[in-house]
Amino acid sequence: MSDARDKLLNYINGELLTDPTRRASADTPLFEDGWIDSLKILKLIAFVELMTGRNIPDEEVVMKNFRTVTTIAEHFGSKP
């Protein structure tokens, strides 16, 4: 899980967040204060799909699974 979490943090801070003053930690709420917009959410989903090797249906894109890097890693990192 920590491997998935590290990959996600590297991607989000290195590629996704274009504002250099913003750096996410594992428990930063990603969907507050405009951190993730409508383009970035698609990029984030594509990255998680690439990381896990499976498609993510829209029904799984809910706050419970995507609130923070930790929750994404916990939900998707442990699934084949």
Partner 1 sequence: MTQLARLQEWVPSGREAVLGPHMLALIDWVDSKFVELASKARAHALPVPSLIERSILERAGYFESFPGSTVEQSDGGCMPPAVCYHCYAKLAATSLQEPGAWTCVARCRRNEDNKEPGRLRAFTMREIVFVGSAAWVRERRQEWMDRILGFAQSLQLAVQLDVATDSFFAGGEARGRKLLQQMKGLKFELRARMDAEGTPLAISSFNLHETFFSHRFGFRLEDGTDANSGCVAFGLERWALALAVTLGPNEAFRLVE
**Site residues for partner 1 per CB under 8 A:** 31, 34, 36-42, 45, 58, 61-63, 66
Residue 41, both tokens: 């959410």
Q: Residue 7 or residue 67: which is nearer to partner 1 going by CB?
A: 67
User: Can you tell me the distance from the alpha carbon of 70 to that of 6, in angstroms, rounded to the nearest whole number?
Assistant: 10
The least distance separating partner 1 from the CB of residue 39, rounded to whole angstroms, comes to: 6
Q: Which residue has the tokens 């409508």?
A: 38
The least distance separating partner 1 from the CB of residue 20, rounded to whole angstroms, comes to: 22
User: Can you tell me the distance from the alpha carbon of 37 to that of 40, in angstroms, rounded to the nearest whole number?
Assistant: 5
Q: Residue 21 or residue 80: which is nearer to partner 1 going by CB?
A: 21
